[in-house]
Structure 1
Amino acid sequence: MALTTHTTPSGFLLPSIHSAPPFFTEQPNPTTQSIATEQWIRLILTYARHRKLFILRVEDAEAAESDWAEILRNERINRKMTPGHLCNIMVAMADKNLAIYEPPKQKRSILVYWRLPEEWAEVLYEWVVDSGQLNTIMTFYEITDPLVESALTNIPVPLLRKAIGILGKTGRAQMIAIADGEGVRFLAKSK
């Protein structure tokens, strides 16, 4: 079979390397494996952005109904990612600060940074300004589940906390304790 691109049912364009059977197995040559790992990382990040996926689990390699099945499997060439191989790619992503283990202190599930926390901080701040929420206190729920869908809809709370922390360091956000948990006040940029 020739290496070809393929569009998945979700509309994602798989790169031609995805139709190469060796892409789905760990390579004995460290240089070759390093290149393949970089390609997998790029594929995972672009797919996560396409589908707005945040959590990748080792178990996703085995589950045919996983949100990640379109990239972790290729039925056309009868190949799929093994859990061990996926685990190694997840380690590489965490080592490169392109993901963190979520929940912490385990190695089977990562929070994928298809946008870095610094980028999320800017997206968050821009959304707050555009929606007229400066100097108001907002709950995490109001941010992650807004009335009108936004780029922040369903953002995991650990990632939201990181973004708020980054804004806090620049004086643009302040964490607030509120009756039903935590909130945040967004402040105008100081000149």
Structure 2
Amino acid sequence: MSQTSDGDGLLMPISEHEHIQGTMDASVVLVKYGDYQCLSCGEVHRMIQEIQQQIQLRFVFRHFPRTHIHFQAQRAAEAAEAAAAQNKFWQMHNLLFENQYALNDGHLLEYANNIQLDIDQFLRDMTDHVHAERVNQNIQGGIQSGVSSTPALFVNGVRYRDAWDTERLLAAIIYQRLRQRPS
């Protein structure tokens, strides 16, 4: 029997196999379920980068391609995973968000070349959908936690539901950080 959330709590625990930025001892963990073709996800990507310059946090990215409206999102997620297999997830991740309007196979190949991936391996991974299962696991974990659209953020396991605004997200992160301090 699968557990599902009311949408306010993160049910899929973070593992060492995740895509993580930041230190293990950060008092705030920000988890984002995102879709590379979702324009709001791109805006939130830039917000998170800005916040990371201001405050120490642990950031986890999970895929949630909404393929029924973003036809290139699944392939982009698989490209990010193919880059991850070559230890270049974050480089590909950033390129995909910087180029949201150009995510067809030719562009994905161009980005792989730009970050100096082994192109033969990248093409094999993409052709054989080697990383599709990992993307699907992220989707299933998101669904269990009540995610139905993107972007979806969780701050220390609690769903962020305020405006997509840097100041408000930063305030939520600071609030969670203050709650974590011992009295």
For Structure 1 versus Structure 2, the TM-score category normalised by the shorter chain is under 0.3
Select the structure of larger CA radius of gyration: 1
Q: RCO (CA 8 Å, sep 6+): is it higher in 1 or 2?
A: 2
